[in-house]
Amino acid sequence: MADFELARYVTIGQYLATDSVIHRLDPRVKLVAFVLWVVAASCTGSLLGNAVLLILGLAGLALARIPLRFGLSGVVPAIPLILLMSVLMVLFYQPDPGAHVWLHWRILTITWEGVRLALVSAARFIEMVMFISILTLSTTLSDLTRALEALLRPLRALRFPADEAALMVSIALRFVPTLAQEAERLMKAQAARGADIGTARPWQLIRRTRSVLPVIVPLFVSALRRADELVLAMEARGYVPGAPRSSYVEYAARGSDAMALALTVLLCALIVWLPWPW
Amino acid sequence: MQGYSAVSAGEAKRSQTRRIVVTGVLAAIAILLGVTRLGFIPVPTAAGNATIMHLPAVIGGVLEGPVVGGVIGLIFGLTSFFDATNPVFKDPLVAILPRIFIGIVAYLVYAGLRRVRVPAWVNLPITGFMGSATNTVLVLLMIWLRFHWRLPVILSVAVVNGLPEAVVSAIITTAVVGAYLGITRRNAKSKIS
């Protein structure tokens, strides 16, 4: 029966109210800083640089007063995969011709480059989990969408539809739980009609694939129908795309926000451009 | 882009509201498929799962054009990046960038075949297949560039994961778009009569 529960898995919008320094930062600043950290982590190929990023991520979690068991909850289920991937990467790394080879046996070669790449990938994964945790656990969803709207607003000068983009994101996030319920209802309805839902074992691939179809197709169609109704409702209430709209909450950046942003820019720049030895 | 010359300004505005809402709702499905097991069909390969999460992007591209398809793909990419338990997909260049092109390619294929008057029941499966293939090819290309997997590994993932995904995508795209366009046509008729 557990297979029929979908809404339980929807953890979007989880928020941990610890009222820390990070929680009180302007959400716009947090969003920009988050993007910078993610870019820094994906640009850094050095082992030492990634170690520093890991320490900074831990510091960020501590600063946001997020317990490690929340902040790193995404890492635990991934550990077996990370290990497997690392082993595969080390064994099957395609070495450059001049690489220093540690061990060579038939098609398996272990090189320092391969080990380094595996370690960097694992570290990068943990860094990303930490950055995402810090952002989403310290910022509510409505704050995030409003921050996105505010940040995109300057792009209006380039005829980029900033308000519309933010509205789109709000609609998407708002509809996830609704559609989860809808999918649950569809699964139960189809199962009541004798559909093959929740009975196939994980390794019965074809049966599982086929059992998805009678839920997925009506889910799409009913979602599109809901979209039609929402368009009608919005027009009836006088929504005009691109017309100026006011907001309930206005943000004002403070000194601490400027400091946080300056610190982030400085640290990210250092990590990306420092000539790390390895 | 849309050639609204024959349509009044009010009509154009309305279809923009439509595009915003359809993008939002289809993106919601993409997120839902990502955070529940609904979107995954487990396959025992290195990439982990065969997915149907890219379908909203394909369907959005077909129904509302390249911008809608591209944005839904972007949101799909963001969820797969945020939610990834696989280290490979914690790299935005693998998880996000390739996904933007799913809906765009789907739109180009669909519009191109429509222009040469290919009937919908042939066009839609091809569009679904190509949209899914775009996802597979571009993501694997980025994995190859960023993680240096060996070519045989990449190719075997493409065949073992990509091929069934593309076939499933062809079937579901045809079913969904066919059913939806059928519905609107019936509604239009009942309004007139």
pTM score above 0.80: no
* B17, B50, B82 member nearest A234 (Cβ): B17
Q: How many Å lie between the alpha carbon of A18 and the closest alpha carbon of chain B?
A: 22
Has residue B135 been placed in a domain? Answer: yes
User: Looking at the 3D structure of chain B, how many domains does it have?
Assistant: 1
Has residue A189 been placed in a domain? Answer: yes
pLDDT along chain B (193 residues), means of 10: 41 73 93 77 56 90 92 90 74 89 95 90 92 93 86 83 84 87 56 36
pLDDT at A112: 79
Q: Searching chain A, which residue's CA lies closest to the CA of residue B154?
A: A92
pLDDT at B190: 40
Judge: B71–A168 Cβ closer than 8 Å, yes or no.
Answer: yes
Same domain, A131 and A172: no
User: Mutate which of B20, B161, B177 to disrupt the A interface (most A C-beta within 10 Å)?
Assistant: B20
Same domain, A154 and A168: no
Same domain, A60 and A30: yes
**Contacting residues of A for B37, CB less than 8 Å apart:** 9
Judge: A12–B179 Cβ closer than 8 Å, yes or no.
Answer: no
Same domain, A148 and A179: no
Has residue B112 been placed in a domain? Answer: yes
Structure tokens at A236: 């009836």
Q: Searching chain A, which residue's CA lies closest to the CA of residue B27?
A: A172
Has residue A3 been placed in a domain? Answer: no
The single-letter DSSP state of residue B45 is S
Same domain, A194 and A93: no
Has residue B2 been placed in a domain? Answer: no
Q: How many Å lie between the alpha carbon of A251 and the closest alpha carbon of chain B?
A: 25
User: Looking at the 3D structure of chain A, how many domains does it have?
Assistant: 2
Range of the domain at A217: 162-241
Below-70 pLDDT ranges, chain A: 1-13, 94-101, 103-108, 196-210, 278
pLDDT at B103: 94
Same domain, A154 and A24: yes
pLDDT at A34: 93
Distance CA A164, CA B6 (A): 25
DSSP chain A: -GGG--GGG--TT-------HHHHS-HHHHHHHHHHHHHHHHH---HHHHHHHHHHHHHHHHHTT--HHHHTTTTGGGHHHHHHHHHHHHHH----TT--EEEEETTEEEEHHHHHHHHHHHHHHHHHHHHHHHHHHHS-HHHHHHHHHHHHGGGGGGT--HHHHHHHHHHHHHHHHHHHHHHHHHHHHHHHTT---S-S-TT-HHHHHHHHHHHHHHHHHHHHHHHHHHHHHHHHTT--TTS----S------HHHHHHHHHHHHHHHHHHHS----
Range of the domain at B131: 9-192
User: Mutate which of B13, B14, B21 to disrupt the A interface (most A C-beta within 10 Å)?
Assistant: B21
User: Mutate which of A129, A175, A186 to disrupt the B interface (most B C-beta within 10 Å)?
Assistant: A175
Distance CA A274, CA A53 (A): 13
pLDDT at A1: 46
**Contacting residues of B for A89, CB less than 8 Å apart:** 147, 149
Same domain, A139 and A258: yes
What's the CATH code of the domain at B108?
Answer: 1.10.1760.20
Judge: A172–B41 Cβ closer than 8 Å, yes or no.
Answer: no
pLDDT at B3: 37
Same domain, A276 and A176: no
| Single-letter amino acid, residue A103 | L
Distance CA B17, CA A112 (A): 55
Three-state DSSP class for A278? Answer: coil
